[in-house]
Structure 1
């Protein structure tokens, strides 16, 4: 067993290691090159019978762990989207781990519940959310909760919408069978929605219609209205719409105002998924991207993507918490306490019962950066994306295939999908930078995302030169 003296010594060594890692992460290849199964041969087949030495564990971090790490915090990592990180958030997670509470109810750790309520009100005000989402608003029925991921938030919203619709149908006809109603429910989203939206439909057993988008890859109101009309004519029951603000593929923005008006008219639950782009709404110039939020029943974004908060921290708000809580409410005797009728018990707000003290890291980041520094971080990444876009546009071998709105640039070589796939493969094999591909309009494209907090202009130029070198080599080979 270790003691506080060991912890003080080892903790200081680990803090130094983490600081050195972060300072030198740009020197490591962004994408791990190990083969599947690499790790098993590096460690014993069984756990040690007696304690290993701390120094042996530290040495094995570099020998065993780091070869198999893809370095998301590298300024040469341009795949997917950002995975937030900051020393402020790391320190808060250390404290959360030390406290070690499971905040399933107010009484299990009052600070865990109340700090979450307050910080999500802070965050909601920064985003200029409708006041009905905030617990601090007098008479508000809404509130916020920290989920693990946007995937969980979408699933929770869809499951809540499902139960609300079933209850509404029962009110209209008490003799209707619940399972017959369930079989007729239908949900809608964009063809470019994140795959987790489709997974939410599988979890909830609600069919999902993925609707076509316009020339900007955005879902429009008239498309949704037509689908609803068709389904109602076929005896189906529209129950849920997921609007995407900043899709994963191209950072497209569905037309929230148009869709919201339709959902309000049809009395359909509207969930807004802004997992990546939501952080940008703290900047006044980007807040119009969320116009129409007043129509939403639920809204979610991930501070653990672009707000320098470590994974996992996904902020979700609902207009009426009763719609959420009533779908998941259970109250075993051992969970009850004397204040439960006047406080929030977050176990009713998400799928797991237990929960970490995640609001600590959000609180630390908001306090130690402040709104101004977080806005500067967003604006810097957008500016860096525009730099990369300018390099692409100056080379007539390439084309930009989607509007560059925030920190993502979608581009491709003019030519076949095979040519672009080969280019991405060649760039990846150099180990210099890491990007991923996707499809728009059934055409293969390459995504370049500005991700790491440490990314600077020289890193953008470095990435562009790495791409150009492989294009030159690719064209030489194809001309032989």
Structure 2
């Protein structure tokens, strides 16, 4: 059978798809926010082997609607209050369509000059609107996890004058890294992959706001130095995953400067709030920071994946990752940036295009309005929750994340954990709202985080009514 050229039908099919996309976004509330399927249910509807001959696009798209769509959790749903948002605004979606069509592999300047130069400019725009100082050099990573790994590798190489990429770690001694007890699990994973050993990650105690205690950090560093260890990297968190804790950068940075330790800041979610001047207090002490990451794909209206990674010392980053075989050499040489040398992957998508669309379509004022709106949603909900005697807010809530639990009184801690676990399942099974859980000081609690561009005040109000209804029904059982 001859190879089929789909270009003849592409225009007609693309129009149908775009119409479906527009309808989907307009009617997204009609879907259950969390997929109401059981494990294996989708796979059971899929053939066990690929077709021998090609199928009609109409049939493929029909199966997408009938088989795939019912198994999707709808991250753009206005009732999606789980994890953190993964924004996909219309301008960003349109840019992704163009990116997919161009299908460029943007590993170097020569393979797509516009992609490289646009990325450089967009990362500088982001730097300016978030208040990061001159001297930070940015690149786009796929996720903050990749940025974290890159930071560890840079810290490792700087400590050993760029020799361990060649010699390995067998003769270097025991490296130690430091982060708060609230740090994201990507820190543990990054340390493992970097060869530093997750057993060498020191989890530093936190205060009543769940922020790292600087004095405890310095004590841990001195103890490790006395034991002959090599303090390598400190991770400070702005907006921890569980409770939105914000570590104090200035005292942490002063300690890192004193001991010559690389300081990486993980602001994956909360960093987007830096577009608001009133939240720039979070980066007081930024002059001590070696690397910084936040994800526009979480809360800044930009399609996943798009993680903004900044380093102060560009040379350290490039020396850590640069490998130049003959087939990658180009005549431009050092005249241009080749972003393949700014991280782990060689291949790179054209992620800067969607940033360009978003920043131009919304402008700084539009982005600020989006962030302020969701912070206001959270603060208003917190005030309402505080008025109810049978609900507890269990952690500070400076941004748009609220941690709470239902406590009707008279129950043991274990019984309260079971009650709130059941409450979470009942809420999520409703199809109207999707929350996740965490543990705060050993207690099972629910997380409510707002961020979808399609969420309005009525959705927050409806969510609060649903939470109360499900909770109080359980207490009567």
Q: TM-score, normalized by length of structure 2?
A: 0.94
Q: Deviations over 1:188-233 (max 9, x none)?
A: 0111111111101110121211111111000021111111011101
Deviates more, 1:269-278 or 1:181-190: 181-190
User: Aligned with 2:332: secondary structure?
Assistant: coil
The 5-angstrom pairing of residues 245-394 of structure 1 reads 245-394=238-387
Q: Is the 8 A contact 2:83 2:449 kept in 1?
A: yes
Q: Which of 222, 231, 237 is 1:244 aligned to?
A: 237
CA-CA distance at 1:280 after TM superposition: 0.6
Q: Which residue of 2 aligns with 1:430?
A: 430
Please say which of residues 347-356 and 180-189 is displaced more in the overlay.
180-189
Residues 182 and 12 of structure 1, relative CA distance in 2, 3 Å threshold: farther
Q: Which residue of 1 aligns with 2:159?
A: 165
Cα deviation per residue 1:339-369 (whole Å; 9 max; x = unaligned)?
1222111111111101011100001111111
Asked if 1:70 corresponds to 2:73, the answer is: yes
Deviation of the 1:48 alpha carbon: 2.1
Contact 2:149/2:194 (8 A) holds in 1: yes
Which segment is superposed worse, 309-318 or 49-58?
Answer: 49-58
Which of 372, 389, 392 lines up with 1:399 in the alignment?
Answer: 392
Aligned twin of 1:150: 144
Unaligned runs of 5+ in 2: none
Deviations 1:138-196 (A, max 9, x none): xxxxx1110000000000000110111122899xxxxxx86355441111011111111
Aligned to 1:195: 185
Q: Deviations over 1:19-48 (max 9, x none)?
A: 111111111111112111212322322222
What residue number does 2:14 align with?
Answer: 11
Write the mapping of 1:153-232 to structure 2, written as runs, cut at 5 A: 153-167=147-161, 179-180=169-170, 182-206=172-196, 207-232=200-225
The aligned residue for residue 458 of structure 1 is 458
2:86 aligned with 1:92 = no
Mark the runs of 5 or more structure 1 residues left unpaired by the alignment.
Answer: 134-142, 171-176
**CA RMSD, Structure 1 to Structure 2 (Å):** 1.5
Distance 2:473 2:212 in 1: 39
**Post-superposition offset of 1:388:** 1.6
Query: Could you tell me whether the CA contact under 8 Å between 1:73 and 1:451 is conserved in 2?
Result: no
Figure out how many residues of one structure are paired with residues of the other and give that number.
462
- Structure 2 CA distance for partners of 1:145 and 1:295, relative to 1, 3 Å: same
Q: Deviations over 1:426-469 (max 9, x none)?
A: 22222321101101111111100103111111111111111111
Q: Deviations over 1:382-413 (max 9, x none)?
A: 11111221221111101111111111111112
The corresponding residue for 1:139 is none
Instruction: Check conservation: 1:216, 1:403, Cα contact below 8 A.
Output: yes
- TM normalised by structure 1 equals 0.94
**Partners of 1:114 and 1:341 in 2: CA distance:** 14
